[in-house]
Structure 1
Amino acid sequence: MKKTIPFSLLALLLYLAAACSTPKQRVPEQTASYTPASQELYDTIARMDSVMFDAFNKQDPDKLKEVFSEDLEFYHDKGGVTDYAQTMENFRTLFERNRDTGLRRDLVKGSLEVYPIVGFGAVEICLHRFCHQENGQDDCGTFKNIMLWQQKDGKWKVTRVISYDH
């Protein structure tokens, strides 16, 4: 006679198997629909984000200096808080260690949100994916990011960064 597993036990086993098998890389998804309050502001911050990370991907610390304010505060859940000088030094060190690893940052499509801050500039919220080669394999992670952009004297610069969920 063939033994059968009761449905509730089978459901429990499937649940436990799913809970215990975590994929190596999870990519969070945007949960709510988003419509920018100002398409012009959204496009401006999207362009500035692109300028910043084009410089990052080209490992160009001099160009990165142009998009960060000298009163920068950079909050990182694993690295703590750094100011402008420390952050620029961290970029230089990161680039030196990753000259040949293909280090790059890409904005996760559909994750960018931009909100105006009256009299100051904007807040950018997004997911970004960082990848590099390690031991011949892609090593990638998707992380959360918040940046405060200030518009001053006709220029946009990042004054605060919160990078988290590493």
Structure 2
Amino acid sequence: MAFLLVICFLPVNAKCQESPQSVNSNELYNKIAHLDSALFDAFNNRKLETLKELFSEDLEFFHDQGGLTNYMQNIGSFEEAFKKDRKVRRELVAGSLEISPIKGYGAVETGIHRFYATEKGKKEQLSSEAKFAMIWREINGIWKMTRVISYAHHEYLK
């Protein structure tokens, strides 16, 4: 199953051009950090409709172990996973989030995250850790994730 990994790069005092208006780096960082939080709140709480809204329909998800998948494949994977008793929770590694602007498009977010699994009747365990890069596109004030690269996975549960 494909999981999203996200980290962003953005110098704290840099300025960037976004759409027709200028946004300072703190505003961009806060916006993308909020989107990351909303995305994984939806993932952690099995809110499929929110995930559908945050992903672009032309999504390309590159996973070092799973290959390339698209929007429909990812939504299908989430639907199946959310039906199972096994629950998975994502946690962003503190201090790993970096965000950088992409002129005329949006932003890139990079970082490291960990996934924890809870099997029915058992305690939560660290399942995996990976690096990620996510590309966010802004059109008319609406942000959608268009590309994801999830790599350097370390699996802890077999």
TM-score w.r.t. the length of structure 2 is 0.78
SS of match in other structure, 1:165: strand
Where do 5+ consecutive residues of structure 1 fail to align?
1-33
More RCO (CA 8 Å, sep 6+): 2
The answer to whether the 8 A contact 1:42-1:114 is kept is yes
Where do 5+ consecutive residues of structure 2 fail to align?
1-9, 15-24, 154-158
Give RMSD over aligned pairs: 1.8
- 1:81 paired residue among 65, 68, 72: 68
The structure carrying a bigger helix percent of its residues is 1
- Deviation sequence 1:18-45 (CA, Å, 0-9, x none): xxxxxxxxxxxxxxxx733311100000
- Deviation sequence 1:48-94 (CA, Å, 0-9, x none): 00010000010111110010000100000111111111111011122
TM-score w.r.t. the length of structure 1 is 0.74
SS of match in other structure, 1:78: coil
SS of match in other structure, 1:66: helix
Count of aligned pairs: 132
Shift of 1:119: 0.1
The answer to whether the 8 A contact 1:133-1:139 is kept is no
> Taking every aligned residue pair, what percent have the same amino acid on both sides?
50
Tell me which structure has the larger Cα radius of gyration.
1
Q: Which residue of 1 aligns with 2:122?
A: 136
- Deviation sequence 1:83-141 (CA, Å, 0-9, x none): 111111011122223x3x34100111100000000000000001111001248351322
What CA distance in whole angstroms lies between the structure 2 residues aligned with 1:147 and 1:35? 17
1:127 aligns with 2:112: yes
What CA distance in whole angstroms lies between the structure 2 residues aligned with 1:102 and 1:71? 27
Q: Which residue of 1 aligns with 2:11?
A: 35
What CA distance in whole angstroms lies between the structure 1 residues aligned with 2:83 and 2:110? 28
5 Å-filtered alignment, 1:1-166, equals 35-36=11-12, 37=14, 38-97=25-84, 99=85, 101-134=86-119, 136-137=122-123, 138-166=125-153
